[in-house]
Amino acid sequence: MNRILIFILAAILLTGCSASLPPQADEIPSQHPIAKYVDSDRTYPIDVYDPWEGFNRSMYYFNAKFDRYVFLPVVGGYEYITPDLMEQGISNFFLNLEEVRNFSNSVLQLKAKSSLKALGRFVINSTVGIGGLFDWATPLGIHRQREDFGQTLGRYGVGNGPYLVLPIFGPSNLRDTAGLVVDTAVRQAIYDQIEPFDDHPDQGAFEAGISLLQTVDTRHRLDFRYYETGSPFEYELVRLIYNKARMLEIQK
């Protein structure tokens, strides 16, 4: 995949460079111009609408530096001091909470099977799995299926909008950013209803600690490392993969 993308992008760059050169006397006109085969009204696989590319590239660079010098060292320290069994339990706990988001968005999309899966996973892991610390649903064949409000919007025909690289969060687009805001607001509303530290004098500190732990756990579960894809066109590669992955998630 990387080699194909590199070849295509290199061809595009070379084509752009050659277009600026003066015509040669012995130049032979093309017998089969590309316009004959390319429909200008059609979107091709490598095309991603990115009108804010300057900002996005700067944010991508910032995220890479933040990830290398702040995020990954914190994650590394977390992994060093936390036993593997406890790490897995923490991941299971936060993933179990996300089943509420998966369930609600599956219902909004009228996906009966996905709704039942999310509900079943939440009930099983919250009870037999001791509050979600253990994942008993997956061995039973009830696999996790991520659903979010960005997918819900896409399901009902809302387009991607411009590609957007968010601080810390990384690749997104205008539709998925709106979906992230909605999902976050709903999650916070639910947390406020079940807040276990509501009357504790250090409530703010507990909430901040749990949010930080969830953030570190999320990065801990991601294998991606900036500028380690082996591609000189990593920005374009990540942009393309994100766009196609979201398209597949909406269509499934």
In this prediction, residue 208 carries a pLDDT of 83
pLDDT tens-place string over residues 67-78: 999 999 999 999
Q: How does residue 209 score in pLDDT terms, banded at 50, 70 and 90?
A: confident
Residues 239 and 139 in one domain: no
Give the whole-angstrom CA distance, residue 149 versus residue 187. 12
94: in domain: yes
68: in domain: yes
Give the whole-angstrom CA distance, residue 96 versus residue 100. 8
Residue predicted with more confidence, 7 or 124: 124
Query: What residue numbers bound the domain in which 183 lies?
Result: 50-74+156-252
Residues 140 and 172 in one domain: no
Of the CA atoms within 13 Å of residue 206, those in its CB half-sphere come to 10
Residues 141 and 201 in one domain: no
In this prediction, residue 200 carries a pLDDT of 66
In this prediction, residue 199 carries a pLDDT of 67
Choose the weakest-confidence range: 35-44, 47-56, 148-157, 219-228.
35-44
pLDDT tens-place string over residues 164-208: 999 999 999 999 999 999 999 998 888 777 766 666 667 677 778
In this prediction, residue 204 carries a pLDDT of 72
Instruction: Report residue 152 as tokens.
Output: 């819900």
203: in domain: yes
Tally of domains in the chain: 2
Contact in structure between 2 and 231 (CB atoms under 8 Å) = yes
Chain mean pLDDT for the chain = 85
Residue predicted with more confidence, 252 or 227: 227
Residues 222 and 179 in one domain: yes
pLDDT tens-place string over residues 1-25: 444 444 444 444 444 444 444 444 4
Is the pLDDT confidence value at 129 over 90? yes
In this prediction, residue 164 carries a pLDDT of 97
2: in domain: no
Residues 180 and 217 in one domain: yes
Residues 165 and 105 in one domain: no
